[in-house]
Structure 1
């Protein structure tokens, strides 16, 4: 039977510097794979804007805000996200949401 559950959603928009777009495109799947393995992660997807290929949208779903905080404090986020990806960005916007959904 399906049940409703509360969760935390983060939507991040990363705009890469023009000369770093392809490097960001290669690093984001690494960050996504490591993040999907986190205990509190429900899903993590990365999309690239078709009209502006240097813009990436990341949609992350966690069991709760604490799980998202743990993600931001993880070793892989520090090494891949903070040290490699973020310096290559022109801008980074992260918005958090509380939501509910159905788990089958």
Structure 2
């Protein structure tokens, strides 16, 4: 049985920075989706509170996520442009068991 490494990041932006952060996340998402270990990278803006953002990421392995955090786009877009514009940030990780496909 294989598994998928999943990341859920929750952000709360500083007042007046949400649109800017979302623009940076768009660039981050595009570059992350090109990483060999990435399965998906999606982000969503809150409806009830538009300063809340949730990011859902999936990788083949935890090591692939570690490599993602060492990429140039993470170190510049994430660390320099996004994180300083946040009031709060939590990152949680989960593993999803992928059952083998059944034989026909």
On whether the aligned pair clears a TM of 0.5, the verdict is: yes
Match of 2:27 in 1: 30
Q: Which runs of no fewer than 5 residues in structure 1 stay unpaired?
A: none
Following superposition, the deviation at residue 102 of structure 1 comes to 6.0
The 5 A counterparts of 1:17-56 are: 17-56=14-53
1:81 and 2:78 correspond: yes
Q: Distance in 1 between matches of 2:46 and 2:75?
A: 25
Q: Distance in 2 between matches of 1:103 and 1:24?
A: 38
SS at match of 1:100: strand
Runs (4 or more) in structure 1 with deviation over 4 Å come to: none
TM-score (norm 1): 0.91
Pick aligned residue for 1:92 from 63, 68, 89: 89
SS at match of 2:47: coil
Task: Evaluate the alpha carbon distance shift between residue 74 and residue 32 of structure 1 in structure 2; reply closer, same or farther with a 3 A threshold.
Answer: same
Larger radius of gyration: 2
Q: Distance in 1 between matches of 2:34 and 2:99?
A: 21
Q: What is the CA deviation profile of residues 59-96 of structure 1, one whole-angstrom value per residue up to 9, with x for unaligned ones?
A: 00000000000001111000100000000000110001
Match of 1:62 in 2: 59
TM-score (norm 2): 0.91
